[in-house]
């Protein structure tokens, strides 16, 4: 039988282990928050004071919100988020509280990134968190206009239609920006004064790709659409397999499956392969770390502004775009498609 003294020591030891684990997790969360804040601040630096983009948004309930009609009347608060995003989940209670306390003074809009998400998950998420503000799903264009680099990313637009604040944290800076935007008295901004982003050309199966290029991590310039060998573009994110393992296990497994399939197909050498990473939560150094630590020989490129993602209307990862020898889009394989080997054979 163990003595009371020994049992007491064991309990104290276990308590210290639990405390140490909690402190480690808290430190990791703080580091991620700091990194997210830095990325949002860097991405938004050039936008502060600029006219906000024009966009007519449609909510998941079918209602239209014309941002240009709001400018000059009331501030707008856009919050980019995703159902798989851990800090988004942590911030949701505060987000709903802002809607309840400031919704009459500020147009609050929850902007789902539309990146590896779906309408059923979004509706379930709204119900779980009892969200009452309008929810829209971005097609990537609003994210491009506002330099989306992290989730969540907060964008506060003043009454004058100019961007007031871009951040990642639900912190004092965000609340101060909202209060200042509400208290500002400025002249109205007309629709014609607001920025309208140019439309991004989109290529679908049968289209010949033109005017697209990207630089690999190794500094090679890749021009897409030029004649030569067939080409396969693997659209992904380096955090897919690890970060989504719990929140989106199907997507995580799909990224793992495609990576292994690609590695086996690359050995045949008759197709030029390129991995194209999204710029969401990814920098060049992040992608280099992935290359150094992941057993893959796939050449990699960072699509920092998600220009190629928009050009092929990629909203889910992993997606593989196959181009034939003439630069035409032969096939676009979604995460649920299991026929990559067959599709590549048909490309030859």
8 A C-beta contact, residue 271 and residue 232: yes
Same domain, 42 and 183: yes
Q: Residue 254: its pLDDT value, please?
A: 97
Q: Residue 267: its pLDDT value, please?
A: 84
Q: Residue 188: its pLDDT value, please?
A: 54
Round to whole Å and give the CA distance between 240 and 253: 9
Q: pLDDT per residue over 117-134, tens digit each?
A: 999 999 999 999 999 999
Same domain, 75 and 220: no
8 A C-beta contact, residue 122 and residue 137: yes
Same domain, 170 and 44: yes
Residue 46 per-residue DSSP state = T
Q: Is residue 201 part of a domain?
A: no
Q: Is residue 43 part of a domain?
A: yes
Whether a cis peptide bond, with omega within 30° of 0, leads into 318 is: yes
Same domain, 266 and 302: yes
Round to whole Å and give the CA distance between 283 and 177: 27
Q: Is residue 331 part of a domain?
A: yes
Same domain, 217 and 268: yes
Q: Residue 180: its pLDDT value, please?
A: 94
Same domain, 69 and 180: yes
Q: Residue 192: its pLDDT value, please?
A: 44
Q: pLDDT per residue over 140-183, tens digit each?
A: 999 999 999 999 999 999 999 999 999 999 999 999 999 999 99
Helices (H) and strands (E) in the chain, counts: 11, 14
Mean pLDDT over all residues of the chain?
89
8 A C-beta contact, residue 55 and residue 142: yes
Task: Tell me the CA distances in angstroms from 298 to 8, 90, 212, 216, 264, one per residue in order.
Answer: 55, 35, 20, 11, 10
HSE of 138 in the Cβ direction (CA atoms, 13 Å)?
Answer: 22
Q: Residue 32: its pLDDT value, please?
A: 72
Same domain, 179 and 227: no
Q: In the structure, what pLDDT confidence band is assigned to residue 7 with cuts at 50, 70 and 90?
A: very low
Q: Residue 186: its pLDDT value, please?
A: 60
Which token pair is 89?
Answer: 């989940």
* Number of domains forming the structure of the chain: 2
- Residue 81 sits in a domain whose CATH number is 3.40.30.10
Q: Residue 321: its pLDDT value, please?
A: 98
Q: Residue 8: its pLDDT value, please?
A: 52
8 A C-beta contact, residue 279 and residue 306: yes
Q: Is residue 135 part of a domain?
A: yes
Q: Residue 225: its pLDDT value, please?
A: 79
Q: pLDDT per residue over 248-304, tens digit each?
A: 999 999 999 999 999 999 988 789 999 999 999 999 999 999 999 999 999 999 999
Q: Where is pLDDT greater, at 215 or 12?
A: 215
Residue where one domain finishes, among candidates 165, 193, 221: 193
* % of the chain beyond a pLDDT of 70: 86
Q: Residue 22: its pLDDT value, please?
A: 38
Write out the residue range of the structural domain in which residue 330 sits.
Answer: 212-347
Same domain, 166 and 231: no
Round to whole Å and give the CA distance between 187 and 98: 25
Q: Is residue 320 part of a domain?
A: yes
Return the beta strands (E) in 62-194 as ranges.
64-66, 76-81, 107-112, 135-137, 153-157, 163-167
Q: pLDDT per residue over 307-346, tens digit each?
A: 999 999 999 999 999 999 999 999 999 999 999 999 999 9
Round to whole Å and give the CA distance between 52 and 67: 9
Residue where one domain finishes, among candidates 193, 222, 252: 193
Same domain, 73 and 106: yes
Q: Is residue 230 part of a domain?
A: yes
Same domain, 45 and 187: yes
Residue where one domain finishes, among candidates 141, 161, 193: 193
Same domain, 142 and 174: yes
Burial of 305 (0-12, 13-18, 19+ CB in 10 A): middle
Same domain, 183 and 280: no
Q: Is residue 202 part of a domain?
A: no
Round to whole Å and give the CA distance between 348 and 328: 13
Question: What is the mean pLDDT of the segment spanning 23-39?
Answer: 67
Q: Is residue 155 part of a domain?
A: yes
Q: pLDDT per residue over 68-115, tens digit each?
A: 999 989 999 999 999 999 999 999 999 999 999 999 999 999 999 999
């Amino acid at each position: 039988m163990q003595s009371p003294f020994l049992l007491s020591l064991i309990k104290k030891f276990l308590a210290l282990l639990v405390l140490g684990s909690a402190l480690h997790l808290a430190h990791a969360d703080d580091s991620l928050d700091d990194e997210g804040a830095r990325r949002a601040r860097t991405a938004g630096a050039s936008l502060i004071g600029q006219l906000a983009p024009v966009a007519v948004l449609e909510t998941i309930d079918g209602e239209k919100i014309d941002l240009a009609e709001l400018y000059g009347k009331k501030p707008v608060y856009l919050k980019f988020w995703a159902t798989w995003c851990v800090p988004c989940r942590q911030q949701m209670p505060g987000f709903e509280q802002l809607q309840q306390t400031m919704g009459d003074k500020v147009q609050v809009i929850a902007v789902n990134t539309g990146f590896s998400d779906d309408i059923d998950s979004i509706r379930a998420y709204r119900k779980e968190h009892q969200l009452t503000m309008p929810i829209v799903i971005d097609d990537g264009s609003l994210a491009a206009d506002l330099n989306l680099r992290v989730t969540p990313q907060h964008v506060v637009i003043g009454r004058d239609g100019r961007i007031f604040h871009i951040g990642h944290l639900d912190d004092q800076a965000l609340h101060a920006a909202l209060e200042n935007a509400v208290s500002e008295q400025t002249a109205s901004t007309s629709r014609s004064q607001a920025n309208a982003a140019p439309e991004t050309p989109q290529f679908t199966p049968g289209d010949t790709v033109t005017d697209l290029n990207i630089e690999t991590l190794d500094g090679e310039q890749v021009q897409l659409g030029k004649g030569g060998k067939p080409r396969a573009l693997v659209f992904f994110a380096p955090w897919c397999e690890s970060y989504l393992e719990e929140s989106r296990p199907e997507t995580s497994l799909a990224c793992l499956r495609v990576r292994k399939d690609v590695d086996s197909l690359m050995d045949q050498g008759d197709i030029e392969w390129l991995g194209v990473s999204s710029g969401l939560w990814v920098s060049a150094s992040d992608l280099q770390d992935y290359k150094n630590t992941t057993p893959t020989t796939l050449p990699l490129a960072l699509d920092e502004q998600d220009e190629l993602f928009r050009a092929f209307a990629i909203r889910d990862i992993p997606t593989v775009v196959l181009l034939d020898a003439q630069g035409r889009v032969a096939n676009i394989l979604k995460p649920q498609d299991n026929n990559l080997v067959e599709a590549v054979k048909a490309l030859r």
